[in-house]
Structure 1
Amino acid sequence: MSPILSVRNLSKNFGAIEAVADVSFDLAQGELLALIGPNGAGKSTCFNMLMGQLKPSAGSVKLKGREITGCKPRQIWRMGVGRTFQITATYASMTVVENVQMALISHHKRLYSPFPFAHRLYRAEALALLDTVGMADQAERHCAVLAYGDLKRLELAVALAHEPMLLLMDEPTAGMAPRERIALMQLTADILAQKGISVLFTEHDMDVVFAHSHRIMVLNRGRLIADGTVEQIRNDPKVQEVYLGGGTLFKPAGESADA
């Protein structure tokens, strides 16, 4: 089966600064792939090129074999690529269900049609999506009063409204408490597995990365230095050097901190 996303020799220069250099990888259908690295490694730049916010200096990005390099973000979104952001972007003055309805209105191309009764459109679909992410009981609450973890779950429902084949998630658990992070990523992994959606996500919390990733890539100074399974990345000397200056990056569950 051909990959959902195929990236070859992707590079981005800002003047003399090489932010991303010769990055290549494939993402399979239903795969949960983590892209990790220290601050300034080039993760956000890479994401912005994949989604069309930045034009690559070189390289190719293909979605199911179709070249999307240079396409605008809205074109890429229409092709089936969704994205969530490190800082949530919801309509604070609207209710939870209205936020999802707006996403569905856009998905069904009704934004430029007269809709004096927009609050009635796609309400059942919106409620079903909220039920999927465990937010149905908060459908009528305004986003301005939601806890941050609930905003993250709402953002996931909004992303799913577009029925994406690929979801790019930029630090999906940023700003959340440790227990909330694990719960959100478990929910995300379960939903995406059910729907067969491929995911590329960045994350700084190694517990989240190792618990839920099928595969992990590591960027450092714009270059991929490792690509492998959880065990391979955990025990990779180059990765340990980048994160901790040597030593163990992550201790398996059940092993004491002073073992």
Structure 2
Amino acid sequence: MSRPVLEAENLAKRFGGVRAVDGVSLDLAAGEVLAMIGPNGAGKSTCFNLLNGQERADAGQVRLAGREITGLPPRTVWRLGIGRTFQVAAVFASMSVAETVQVALLSHDRQLWRPWRRANRYRRERARALLAQVGMDWAAERTCGTLAYGDVKRVELAVALANDPRVLLMDEPTAGMAPAERGQLMALTQEIARARGIAVLFTEHDMDVVFGHADRVVVLHQGRVLARGTPQAVRAEPEVQRVYLGAPASTEPTAC
């Protein structure tokens, strides 16, 4: 079996007397979609911040393709191949959709600080190809401020893909979206992950999204891993039912 693309081993982070993350381990393979779920305050966001360098771990290790990246700053982790999207999507409202992706390409190519370079002339074909991949090429010349929120989320995904990530961390990617859009976005993400061999780790409160699109699920509770496994196995786990899902195993998944 090939080595996982991303490995976290015994990660720990305290804030004062609170153990936000307490001995969390996980691994993620190329092309795999792993969901991280748990009640509010379970440690999901802190775990994400440890993986991409926004927070420094008190203990434990993070490895990317076998290389230890624990403690590296976010920009270095990003350049090594860990991309991230956030719960609240943010784009430059006055920029066109294509320009937004072109700026991401400028950053990836380390060209942001070159003088006299116009973003809207840089790697137009690549920007268009990325937008086509997320179904947004039709809006390339529209300003981001005119887009519906679900379309903004797709543009954010194109921006993340501009860095050619090995791993993509998605913090509640469907938050604020209509139910039909949620499934579409995650189906698209799953398809891209398979096609490009990108390992995806996402957090989500909508259980239909989790059980419909994750290959595996890891459940956090009070900073620790409560359960892990296939969606079916996790949904049937009595302790997960008790602390998070709040329903017997035979109940169909609903949004939490």
TM-score range, shorter chain: over 0.9
Query: Aligned pair count?
Result: 253
1:97: Cα distance to partner? 0.4
Are 1:242 and 2:254 an aligned pair? no
After the TM superposition, which residues 77-88 of structure 1 pair with which residues of structure 2 at under 5 Å, given as runs?
77-88=78-89
Unpaired runs of 5+ in structure 1?
none
Distance (whole Å) between structure 2 residues aligned to residue 143 and residue 167 of structure 1 = 22
Contact 1:237 1:246 in 2 (8 A): no
- TM-score norm. by structure 1 comes to 0.95
| Stretch of structure 1 that moved more, 240-249 or 230-239 | 240-249
What is the SS of the residue equivalent to 2:243?
A: helix
Amino acid across the alignment from 1:209: V
Are 1:188 and 2:189 an aligned pair? yes
1:131 match: 132
Distance (whole Å) between structure 1 residues aligned to residue 158 and residue 251 of structure 2 = 31
1:118: Cα distance to partner? 2.6
What is the SS of the residue equivalent to 1:60?
A: strand
Give the direction of change, closer, same or farther, for the CA distance of 1:115–1:235 in structure 2 (3 Å limit): same
Distance (whole Å) between structure 2 residues aligned to residue 245 and residue 135 of structure 1 = 38
Are 1:73 and 2:74 an aligned pair? yes
Distance (whole Å) between structure 1 residues aligned to residue 246 and residue 82 of structure 2 = 36
1:247: Cα distance to partner? 2.0
1:119: Cα distance to partner? 1.3
| Stretch of structure 1 that moved more, 243-252 or 48-57 | 243-252
Amino acid across the alignment from 2:118: F
1:173: Cα distance to partner? 0.2
1:248: Cα distance to partner? 3.2
Contact 1:206 1:250 in 2 (8 A): no
What is the SS of the residue equivalent to 2:10?
A: strand
1:22 match: 23
Unpaired runs of 5+ in structure 2?
none
Contact 2:237 2:249 in 1 (8 A): no
Distance (whole Å) between structure 1 residues aligned to residue 191 and residue 175 of structure 2 = 20
Contact 1:4 1:64 in 2 (8 A): yes
Are 1:150 and 2:126 an aligned pair? no
1:250: Cα distance to partner? 4.7
RMSD: 1.3
- TM-score norm. by structure 2 comes to 0.96
Which 4+ runs in 1 deviate beyond 3 A?
A: none
1:42 match: 43
1:173 match: 174
Distance (whole Å) between structure 1 residues aligned to residue 245 and residue 165 of structure 2 = 36
1:90: Cα distance to partner? 1.1
Q: What fraction of aligned residue pairs are identical, expressed as a percent?
A: 58
Give the direction of change, closer, same or farther, for the CA distance of 1:249–1:45 in structure 2 (3 Å limit): farther
Distance (whole Å) between structure 1 residues aligned to residue 140 and residue 230 of structure 2 = 39
Amino acid across the alignment from 1:51: N
Distance (whole Å) between structure 2 residues aligned to residue 118 and residue 244 of structure 1 = 46
